[in-house]
Amino acid sequence: MTRFILRRLLTAIPTLFLIVTISFFLMRVAPGGPFNQEKGLNPAVIENLNRVYQLDQPLWSQYLHYLSNLLHGDLGPSYTRPDFTVTEMFATALPISIQIGTLALLLALTIGSVLGIIAALNQNRGLDYLVVATATAGSTIPTFVIAPLYQLTFALSLSLVPVAGWGGGALVNKIGPVLTLMLPQLAVVARLMRGAMIEALRAHHIRTCRAMGLSEVSVVCRHALRSAVMPVISYAGPAAASLLTGSVIVETIFGIPGIGRYFVEAALARDYTVVMGTVVVLAAFTILFNLIVDLLYAIVDPRVRHD
């Protein structure tokens, strides 16, 4: 097991390295820079700024410089927010994104699974159709339609929650973002769980369980769930990553100072270090989530371990 984890962590290094390299050069071949966005900036000032941030040096030396800083955990200064380093920006932004993302993921996994199981147990009956229809709607209606509708009903008409803003992390401010982030994932989880559960309930060992007189709860929750949960687990990895990335739109609509909003702003302003920092952090998260999923897989399904 430890060898497995070690090997995966070792392969993560070249992956991260490649991602950093691709993003770095992709960004630099594009025209424009962080300081020629503002009109009327004196050329001498731009030159000085470029010198201060070492943007006047050849690209390869900038690249090596960035890499060595990165290895020391330094993501560099932000070009558009001169008083902040990228690390400082992330120190406040990342926890916010993670909080919303984690809440949304946990809710989507639990509620989605429960809905999926309910649908599977009532296959081709009213309740099943209801769940499937909701799931289809949930995965089809885009976030940027649901979010304004939520704001209209619960904030503007009913005045139950604030329209937008973070409010220092107050619960009422989180409801909207978490709900809108959760819904598409919940829909997919419910569909996956439904399909897997239907298949699992047809298996021979489940028939044996039933024949031996186990209670329905025990059959479903202890025996069928074990194999039905596999597709959901393998989906959870990409879902976790996409919850962090999917937060771009939610953070924009609800005006939340998370990492996704910074990224869009930074990309528009050619704030190289912030963009790079976001890509690195998110890639690291994606790799981490995939690793966790593989580990969970090995725990739930012993056959994987022997491969």
Q: Which residue ranges make up the site for another protein (CB under 8 A)?
A: 14-15, 18-19, 22-23, 26-27, 30-32, 136, 139-145, 147-148, 151-152, 156, 241, 244-246, 248-249, 252-253, 263-264, 267-268, 270, 275, 278-279, 282-283, 286-287, 290
Q: State the nearest-atom distance from the C-beta of 222 to another protein, in Å.
A: 27
Residue 150 Cβ vs another protein, minimum distance, rounded to whole Å: 11
- Is 13 or 170 the residue whose CB approaches another protein more closely? 13
Q: Pick between residue 156 and residue 160 the one whose CB is nearest to another protein.
A: 156
The residue among 116 and 246 lying less far from another protein, judged by its C-beta, is: 246
**Shortest distance, CB of residue 235 to another protein, whole angstroms?**
13
Smaller CB separation from another protein, 120 or 219: 120
Closer residue to another protein, CB minimum distance, 142 or 169:
142
Is the CB of residue 255 less than 8 Å from the CB of residue 165? yes
Question: Could you give the CA distance from residue 184 to residue 186 in angstroms, rounded to a whole number?
Answer: 5
Give residue for tokens 């930074």: 266
Q: How far is the CB of 44 from another protein (least distance, A)?
A: 26
| Nearest alpha-carbon partner for 6 in 291, 254, 300, 236 | 291
Cβ within 8 Å of residue 245, ≥6 positions away:
260, 282
The residues, ordered by sequence, that sit 6+ positions from 53 with a Cβ below 8 Å of its Cβ are 34, 77, 79
CB atoms within 10 A of CB 176: 24
Closest separation in Å from C-beta 61 to another protein: 21
Of 141 and 304, which CB lies nearer to another protein in the complex structure?
A: 141
Residue 90 Cβ vs another protein, minimum distance, rounded to whole Å:
14
CB-based burial label for 44 (10 Å; 0-12, 13-18, 19+): exposed
Smallest CA-to-CA distance from 277 within 79, 114, 121 is with: 79
